[in-house]
Amino acid sequence: MNSILVIPSIDIKDGKTVRVVQGIPELNCPRYGDDPVEMALLWRSENAKIIHVVDFDSSHEHSHKNYDIIEEICNSVIIPVEMGGGISSFEEAETLFGLGVFRIVIGTLAYENPGEFGKIFEHYGPQKISAAIDVIDNEVVVGGRKIKTGLSPQQYGKTLANIGVERFIVTDIKKNGMLLGPNIQLSVEVAKATGGKVTVSGGVRNFKDLLDIQAAQKYGLDSVIVGRALYENKFPCQKIWRVAESNIL
């Protein structure tokens, strides 16, 4: 059994990170509080294999003001950078790949404009495109998580899988950032319905949660995005990757 991949998340708004690392004395300095590039370097130094970046300004205001920072992150670390948030056209996808982004995560566009999504997917392929499935009360939501679609995550996932999507990032919005534990069952159901690989997102609070996700790997869960738990130092960062890479989970 391979180990799950732990993916730190960097959320950017107005050129700054939304979350600040807490409880680590050597990091209690301003630069780690608001510099996304420094944060990427930190997670890389902790042996992260990939970084997940969310551009809040692009997602909510369709602003590209953080693109220079995203490019700097890509140029500063030697690991892949995955980016999501407000991608709404082939041209924007093309721009992001030009900045050095390894993979983009598309949510609303795939639902509201499947033709444009299909154009992007056909050009770049399943290794470069992940589909975001955001869920509230077992219903897929889009548009900054404000618009209800009336679709179940399994139903929507099947539609995307029929297009050729192979990777899904599944987020239970009610658990996201709440440290309530991940909704593993939801991710398992999407994996079973699509036959694809699923990245679990939202709710991870401690090392035991990682073990629980690892136990569900046989269903197609192979990675997990961790945000708040890392920033609040809920477990030693070094332990996450050292244990995961030792293949003893």
Domain map (residue ranges) of the chain: 5-245
Distance of CA 150 to the CA centre of its chain: 23
Residue 54 or 178, more confident? 54
Q: Report pLDDT for 124.
A: 98
Look at residue 62 in the predicted model and tell me its pLDDT.
86
Listed residue (249, 248, 203, 244) closest to 5, CA to CA: 244
Is the pLDDT reported for residue 249 higher than 70? no
Annotated active-site residue in 11, 172, 209, 222: 11
Among this protein's residues, is 222 annotated catalytic?
no
pLDDT in tens, 129-139: 999 999 999 99
CB 105 within 8 A of CB 169: yes
User: Residue 241: pLDDT above 90?
Assistant: no
- CATH number of the domain located at residue range(s) 5-245 in this protein: 3.20.20.70
CB distance 51 to 79 below 8 Å: yes
Mean pLDDT of 71-80: 96
Asked whether residue 31 carries a pLDDT value surpassing 50, the answer given is no
Q: Which position among 57, 134, 172, 209 bears the catalytic label?
A: 134
Is 14 annotated in the active site? Answer: no
pLDDT in tens, 7-22: 999 999 999 988 755 5
Structure tokens at 209: 């949660």
